[in-house]
Amino acid sequence: MEKLHLNLGINSYDIKFSDSFGELLDALREINAPKKLLIVTDTRVRELYADEVYNLLRGAGYDVKIHAFPEGEENKNIDSIMGICKACIDHGMDRKSMIIALGGGVCGDMAGFAAAIYMRGIDFIQIPTTLLSQSDSSVGGKTGIDFAGGKNIIGAFHQPKLVYINVSTLKTLSKEQFVSGMGEVIKHGIIRDAEFFTFLKRNSELVKALNPYTLIRLTKTNCAIKAAVVEKDEKESGLRAILNFGHTIGHAVESAYDFKMTHGACVGLGMVGAAYIAQKRGMITAAELGEIEDILTLYDFDTRVKLSEPEKIYSFMLKDKKRINGVMKFVLPTRIGDVTQVTDVTKDEIFAAVEYISKIQ
């Protein structure tokens, strides 16, 4: 089993990579996991993997229960969090108990947030089952829920004790969810690693065929990129904000269209929009903008979607939690493998970017 260590002082933990759940018990023993555990999952993952993990843990002597909430971003809310906390109480969990987040990004965000607030904070681990969560959201300690139409408005930084990635779970993803996950994967290459960007271009067939060796390399590289950033800026006071490339427009589109498009699809559009702004400013060439669009197309993204409500999109950007003292931050590419943060993107530039994305080719 391959692993990666995230060095955050007392909050340090390992990220482990496998193609099965077979080594999960060893990983739990290494962190001295308590005997009382609650598996938090959604209704879809409950049917796919929860029983396998439950039986594995139960057979090893753990006192474990399963709590499943309804699948979908629309259920990433305070009612679901209260349901998780109630399940903790019903299971007799104390401050030494542990939550296991088994599922995608929504599950990880909510299980982690519940762990952060239950009895003022208990431990949790991440077992991400989607490409999006394996490549991005399970690493770094961001937890939260959506509120008042905004994405991740209420939350906390709460680092897991372990991330256990089983790439075989990607076999049950829909094409839509796999494409969504590739949005964050491609993002990491653009912001930090030109060599990885090239790897993704050259190995698209192996990636899409879900070759286990290729997927482990892909997820490990993604986690290494994110870990290197998080180690330097755990609470997003500076460098970590580069991970928001594509998210300023992307989150606004996601919210404005009532989460009917996947997160990764919206991030893909946001990356095109940000790259367009950068190209118009002379920060990247037209060829580099084309490279970004081409790799998204290679992985079956729609790089053009008719966005008919630019004012609505802009209004959600004004509510984004990344705004500081009324200033909107944008992450713009300066080349493939490097980005910079700016605070002077104008409303006209944003509208031009939305218009560019909306031009169906």
How many Å apart are CA 53 and CA 44, to the nearest integer? Answer: 14
Q: Are 332 and 281 in contact (CB under 8 A)?
A: yes
Half-sphere exposure of 15 (CA within 13 A, CB side): 29
**Which is nearest to 39 in space by CA: 62, 67, 63, 61?**
67
Annotated catalytic residue 226? yes
Q: Which of 158, 222, 263, 288 is catalytic?
A: 263
How many Å apart are CA 36 and CA 23, to the nearest integer? Answer: 19
Amino acid at site 59: G
Q: Which of 46, 187, 220, 240 is catalytic?
A: 240
How many Å apart are CA 122 and CA 257, to the nearest integer? Answer: 35
Strands (E), 161-273: 162-166
In a 3-state reduction of DSSP, which class is residue 77?
Answer: coil
Q: Are 99 and 111 in contact (CB under 8 A)?
A: yes
Q: Which of 187, 188, 244, 288 is catalytic?
A: 244
Tokens for 45, please give them: 């993952």
How many Å apart are CA 112 and CA 244, to the nearest integer? Answer: 20
Q: Which of 142, 161, 187, 192 is catalytic?
A: 142
Amino acid at site 248: T
Tokens for 334, please give them: 């300066």
Q: Which of 16, 251, 254, 288 is catalytic?
A: 251
Annotated catalytic residue 247? yes
Q: Which of 226, 254, 288, 293 is catalytic?
A: 226
Annotated catalytic residue 236? yes
Q: Which of 73, 184, 254, 293 is catalytic?
A: 184
In a 3-state reduction of DSSP, which class is residue 19?
Answer: coil
Annotated catalytic residue 184? yes
In a 3-state reduction of DSSP, which class is residue 210?
Answer: coil
Annotated catalytic residue 76? no
CB burial class (10 A; 0-12, 13-18, 19+) of residue 89? exposed
Annotated catalytic residue 120? yes
Q: Which of 231, 236, 291, 349 is catalytic?
A: 236
Amino acid at site 31: I
CB burial class (10 A; 0-12, 13-18, 19+) of residue 70? exposed
Tokens for 191, please give them: 């912001």
| H runs (alpha helix) in 319-361 | 347-358
Unique residue bearing structure tokens 């305070």: 78
**Which is nearest to 45 in space by CA: 152, 141, 177, 159?**
177
- Point out the residues that are catalytic: 120, 142, 184, 226, 236, 240, 244, 247, 251, 263
